[in-house]
Amino acid sequence: MPPGSCRAVASSSAGGPRLEDSISLGAPRLFLTRAGGPRRAGAWSAQGPTPLSSGWPDAAVAVGAAAVAAAAVVVAGGRGRAGGWRQRRMDSRVSELFGGCCRPGGGPAVGGTLKARGAGGGSSGCGGPKGKKKNGRNRGAKANNPPYLPPEAEDGNIEYKLKLVNPSQYRFEHLVTQMKWRLQEGRGEAVYQIGVEDNGLLVGLAEEEMRASLKTLHRMAEKVGADITVLREREVDYDSDVPRKITEVLVRKVPDNQQFLDLRVAVLGNVDSGKSTLLGVLTQGELDNGRGRARLNLFRHLHEIQSGRTSSISFEILGFNSKGEVVNYSDSRTAEEICESSSKMITFIDLAGHHKYLHTTIFGLTSYCPDCALLLVSANTGIAGTTREHLGLALALKVPFFIVVSKVDLCAKTTVERTVRQLERVLKQPGCHKVPMLVTSEDDAVTAAQQFAQSPNVTPIFTLSSVSGESLDLLKVFLNILPPLTNSKEQEELMQQLTEFQVDEIYTVPEVGTVVGGTLSSGICREGDQLVVGPTDDGCFLELRVCSIQRNRSACRVLRAGQAATLALGEFDRALLRKGMVMVSPEMNPTICSVFEAEIVLLFHATTFRRGFQVTVHVGNVRQTAVVEKIHAKDKLRTGEKAVVRFRFLKHPEYLKVGAKLLFREGVTKGIGHVTDVQAIAAGEAQANMGF
């Protein structure tokens, strides 16, 4: 195989199709579609490999059964009780629970690491077996067939254009309408591939035609109030004597009904891996001194400063303007100025790494609904401590994640490579089925952002240093280009529902009164809205009024589904509020329960899981101790087994929904499932049902 080529193999032990993808300059890729027939796909090296496309039957790996199985393997951390026959037994059980989307050993197995080549043609090829030769020639060699990208999709935010040279007025208006549609699909962001036909053929344009096309694209963007940024250019080898190239352009426009585009990223990792330090460097704009100076502005408590360990959940913001430039606290900016100057905002949720604060980390993952997670691994220690547990939590809760290997300045190159190989092995474990993608150049970062949004099983890996700043810009490029991971249709459907706001934090602010922080799960919330909050200890819901709203410390009049904010409630008594409550529209007529049933899989338990066992249950923003009242059709459960279990809350009733994801824990005991039934109770019956 020639240098710079990349090979990824996916197979099925059940005798299913086998994918062998060799990618090099000019070499077409061939893989199976959903119908099983061959389809030619893109071989543009700068775009990066997509070995498991949406057409692959098992492309939705790391969800459902795969996520649960991986969570068990990772959380167990190699314990004998969770391995061997018990692991295989659990795989079969979870396949029944989640509809058989992943059979034991039947999912696609990854046999290579993706490494996209830079536009300059430098080699960063993957390991793996060499490609087969035919007639004495390597298949990865330059072929007569022109390279392809996957055909253009009707939905989504990616648009192919062969050229945009001097369009007529009618054509120009049509192009503007088309751009509005792509921006709407990408919730304010769109990517244009200039020099590419609709079927994905990379034709390229001469220099004058490309210049004219970019000028037209700039006029289109001005028409809709957007800005364009050239992400990368690349020459293509087409049947022409004139050099031809294609250009990838990012179009960004803040929607009229929003202040900025928002993306929430949860930061996970073992204690002392450098999570807070990395966030301090990104948000403050200054490198660390090697002794933790950058993290001091992130800590909320004195004991955190003294110990250097995060024990609470904190939020930090990093902005990007319409041209892709970083906007942070450097140059003495305030949070309000960052929000005003940014068209895209990354909100980092800094979670605790120490095992003592694991409940806080789980609460942050379940209640704040992050779009994705950043898993930080120290290069000098590798996968240690709570890293496996955090990885298992992300898989179990189906949160997409990418990995950052930090502190590379402290290690030799061989040590960093060993840590990366260790990560690759874990990501390729049965049930996890992630495709590692090592990012080594700016072109790789662009490719990684696009692949990460399109395929849930691609996991980018960055290696950087917060002290020397090595490869720090690659992470910024990735975050700048990373599109929203939810589509506009889902957002619109949520906004049509009644208002529901999860209460995660409660404050008392001088001259403002009681303030609650959380996430709007559905509907729209405006200043002056009348809502009800509950349930209280006796199961009641109390009326209140929203006085003002703030997002990222700046005023906001309207809050939409999926957005996090703080709401000022005026003189409402703080003593009546607690974490886990919801603020809903009075028309919703919310139901509460103290007894509920859930279909669960026991990920790990040292002995047997029986009636009367007490666990801490996490359902969204709800976190409360519950007792196992009944295990249907069984007397006890062991690791890997599934069952329908009835739980009863010990303290007060909660607001739950059927279908909500559930995670419970007690010491080393861990399990996951979803709520199948709630026994609704009226307000007057609450205390009697709780046994008071």
Amino acid, res. 143: A
Upstream peptide bond of 535 is cis (omega within 30 degrees of 0) = yes
Cα gap 677→242, rounded to integer Å: 67
Cα gap 83→91, rounded to integer Å: 11
Amino acid, res. 626: A
Residue 136 in tokens: 């004495």
Cα gap 336→342, rounded to integer Å: 10
Give burial (CB, 10 Å; 0-12/13-18/19+) of 580.
buried
pLDDT tens digit string along 85-115?
444 444 444 344 333 333 333 333 344 555 5
What count of Cα atoms within 13 Å lies in the side-chain half-sphere of residue 356?
A: 5
pTM of full prediction above 0.85: no
User: Is the model's pLDDT at 523 over the cut of 90?
Assistant: yes
Measuring CA to CA, how many Å separate 629 from each of 165, 455, 552, 556, 609? 71, 40, 42, 45, 12
pLDDT tens digit string along 414-425?
999 999 999 999
Cα gap 370→313, rounded to integer Å: 13
User: Is the model's pLDDT at 35 over the cut of 70?
Assistant: no
pLDDT attached to residue 160 = 94
For residue 609, what are the β-bridge partners? 637
Strands of 309-407, DSSP E: 314-320, 326-327, 344-350, 372-378, 401-406
Confidence tier at 350 by pLDDT (50, 70, 90): confident
> Residue range 411-434: average pLDDT?
91
Cα gap 43→49, rounded to integer Å: 7
Higher pLDDT, 438 or 1: 438
> Residue range 368-379: average pLDDT?
92
pLDDT attached to residue 101 = 39
Given a contact cutoff of 8 angstroms between Cβ atoms, the answer to whether 233 and 250 are in contact is: no
User: Is the model's pLDDT at 129 over the cut of 80?
Assistant: no
User: Is the model's pLDDT at 525 over the cut of 60?
Assistant: yes
> Residue range 38-55: average pLDDT?
36
Given a contact cutoff of 8 angstroms between Cβ atoms, the answer to whether 437 and 451 are in contact is: yes
Cα gap 167→333, rounded to integer Å: 43
pLDDT tens digit string along 558-583?
898 888 899 999 999 999 999 999 99
Measuring CA to CA, how many Å separate 98 from each of 65, 67, 425? 6, 10, 25
Residues 6+ apart with CB under 8 A from 234: 44, 46, 119, 245, 246
Instruction: Name the phi and psi angles at 170, rounded to 5.
Output: -65, -45
Gap between the terminal Cα atoms of the chain: 72
pLDDT tens digit string along 261-275?
889 999 999 988 888
Alpha-carbon Rg of the chain, whole angstroms? Answer: 26
Cα gap 227→342, rounded to integer Å: 13
Identify the three-state secondary structure at position 576: helix
Cα gap 580→250, rounded to integer Å: 40
pLDDT attached to residue 60 = 36
